[in-house]
Amino acid sequence: MLNNFCFWFAALVALGASVLAVSRRNAVHGLLWLVLSLLAVAVLFFMLGAPFAAALEVIVYAGAIMVLFLFAVMMLHLGPAAQRQEAQWLAPGVWIAPGLLALGLAADLIAIARLAGDAPAGAGIIPPEAVGAALFGPYVIGVELASVLLLAGVVAAYHLGQRRDRSLGEGAGSG
């Protein structure tokens, strides 16, 4: 009973926060809603018996990636002009078609979920050991591929991050 209540509450928060994340004109506000949405999803994972996935969701997405997003957005010069542009993008003509498509997908999802029948929330808890065993057992090829991809990403990031010495302090002004 309590679990169900928590589940619905978290699901509602996740949905609402996602909608707000899309519709906010202020990019920083939008990102914060997105963080909330991710946290709610983490709670869902937890309720479904996957504490490991929940923790990873928070560490990786809410904790690291979103902070970097925030970081980047804050460095941009976002003023009234940027907000006006956001407002333009939020005109009904722009969002109605994708919105309808998304609704269709949602309906699909619900239908499939109903067909599949009820799987009780939190039926079994998957311990981290099981996750590890699965990753390095049946899915080891996938894990290796992903790690190679990540390595490539790191190398690329290192290459891009290297910048040629820009001359500093060329400005005028004799003090």
Partner 1 sequence: MSIHTIGVIIKDWLIGLLAGWGVPVELSRLLIEVLTWAVGAALCIIAIMLAALVFIYLERKVSGYIQSRLGPTRCGPVGILQSFVDVIKLLLKEDIVPAEADRVLHTIGPILFLAVSALAYVVVPWDEGGTVAGKVDAGVGVLFMAAVGSMGLIGIVVGGWGSNNKWSLLGAIRGAAQMVSYEIPMLLALMCVVLQAETLSLAGIVEDQKGSIIAWNFLRPWMWLPVVLFLISGVAEINRTPFDIPEAESELVSGFHTEYTGMKFALFFLAEYGNLLLVALIFSVLFLGGWLSPFGYPDPLRLPGIIWLLAKSLLIVLIVMWVRWTLPRLRVDQLMGLAWKLMIPAGFVALGVMCAVIMLGWA
Partner 2 sequence: MPDQEGILAQLKQRFGPDGIVRQLTADGILTVWVPPEQVRAVLSSLRDDVSPPFRMLYDLTAVDERQRQVRPDQPPGDFTVVYRLLSLEGNADCRVKVALTGETPAIGTVTDLWPNAAWYECELWDMFGIRVEGHPHLRRLLMPPWWEGHPLRKEHPARATEMAPFRLPEERMALLQETLEFRPEDWGWPPPGPDQDDLYLNLGPHHPGTHGVLRVICRVCGETIRDAICDIGFHHRGAEKMGERQSWHTYIPYTDRVDYLGGAMNNLPYVLAVEHLAGIEVPERAQVIRILLAELFRIISHLVFMGTFAQDVGMMSPVFYMFTDRERALDIVENITGARMHPSWFRIGGVAQDLPKGWEQLLGDFIELLERRLNEYEQAVLRNRIFRARTVGVGALDVGTAIAWGATGPMLRSTGLAWDLRRQRPYGGYDQFEFDIPIGKQGDCYDRAVVHMEEMRQSLRILRQCLQNMPAGPYKSDHPLATPPRRAQTLRDIETLIHHFLSVSWGPVIPPGEAEGRVEGTKGLYSYYLVSDGGTMSYRTRIRAASFPHVQMLPMLCRGLMVADLIAILASLDFVLADVDR
Which C-beta is closer to partner 1: that of 48 or that of 52? 52
Please state the closest distance from residue 87 (CB atom) to partner 2, in A. 17
Q: How many CA atoms lie within 13 A of 132 on its CB side?
A: 3
* Whole-angstrom distance, CA of residue 119 vs CA of residue 47: 12
Interface residue with partner 2 among 80, 93, 117, 175 (CB under 8 A) is: 175
Q: For residue 59, what are the CA distances in angstroms to 54, 67, 89, 122?
A: 9, 11, 31, 21
φ, ψ (nearest 5 deg) of residue 45: -55, -45
Interface residue with partner 2 among 1, 5, 71, 77 (CB under 8 A) is: 77
Interface residue with partner 2 among 81, 91, 116, 119 (CB under 8 A) is: 81
Compose the 82-121 pattern: x for residues touching partner 2 by CB under 8 A, - for all others.
Answer: ----------------------------------------
Please state the closest distance from residue 75 (CB atom) to partner 2, in A. 9
Cβ atoms of residues 49 and 3 within 8 Å: no
Which C-beta is closer to partner 2: that of 118 or that of 170? 170
Cβ atoms of residues 46 and 54 within 8 Å: yes
Residue 73 neighbours by CB under 8 Å, 6+ apart:
27, 28, 31
Q: Which does 175 bind (CB under 5 to 8 A by kind): partner 1, partner 2, none?
A: partner 2
Q: Which does 64 bind (CB under 5 to 8 A by kind): partner 1, partner 2, none?
A: partner 1
Interface residue with partner 2 among 93, 117, 161, 173 (CB under 8 A) is: 173
Tell me the window of 60-68, 98-106, 156-164, 165-173 that interacts with partner 2 (CB under 8 A): 165-173
37, 24, 33: which is closest to 78 by C-alpha? Answer: 24
* Whole-angstrom distance, CA of residue 105 vs CA of residue 49: 26
What does the binding site for partner 2 look like in residue numbers (CB under 8 A)?
77, 79, 81, 168-175
